[in-house]
Amino acid sequence: MVDFMGPVYGALNAVFNPILAMDPNPANPALTVLIIAFIVSLITTVANKYLVDQDELNAKQKSMQEFNKRLRDAQKRGDGKEIAKLQAEQAEMMKDQTAMMTEQFKPMFVTFIPIILIFFWMRASAVSNLVIIMPPSVYWVTLVPIWHMIGSFLYGGQATIPYGIGWLLWYMICTFGMSQILRKYLGFKQGF
């Protein structure tokens, strides 16, 4: 049987092990996960910037919002003639919505495989041992107990460290923040 992941892990080790070695606490590499989250956020944000026509996407979204507003207003007024006219336009709007969805999936085709490989590397490396202790208020506001309940239901066991989160939740928090900053910096007109 051919080992496909060996060379992949080797390449990822060559890229990420130096980052892991520079982490002030390699046994609990929170900084490494933060840097990886930045790299992944940068890759996905740049892919979105250059593979999706943001102006066209925003125009279609505004058009869809205006259409929905006109339809709601006509329904509130009980204007059957206007509703029938708008429902005739609805097929064209659905085509636009399908085109919007297709446009938004373009970057995923480019970024999906590299991101999955990075996730596999993080799970197989020292990163998987990461535990971040959060302040109690942040722990509750970010709904971590719900994630712990879902994890215990799916995987068994329970969270043993009070206010602790693992590498995946820490990665998600970091990626969310980094993506928002990068989107703002690269001039995206809308949030997510």
* Alpha-carbon distance values, 8 to 32, 96, 167 (Å): 19, 39, 21
Give the integer Cα–Cα distance in Å for 153 and 89: 46
Give the integer Cα–Cα distance in Å for 30 and 16: 13
Tokens 């996730």 sit on residue: 119
Output the pLDDT for position 159.
62
The list of the chain residues with pLDDT below 50 reads: 192
Tokens 């606490």 sit on residue: 25
Output the pLDDT for position 41.
94
- Write down the pTM of the prediction: 0.75
Q: Is 132 helix (H, G, I), strand (E, B) or coil?
A: strand
Output the pLDDT for position 181.
92
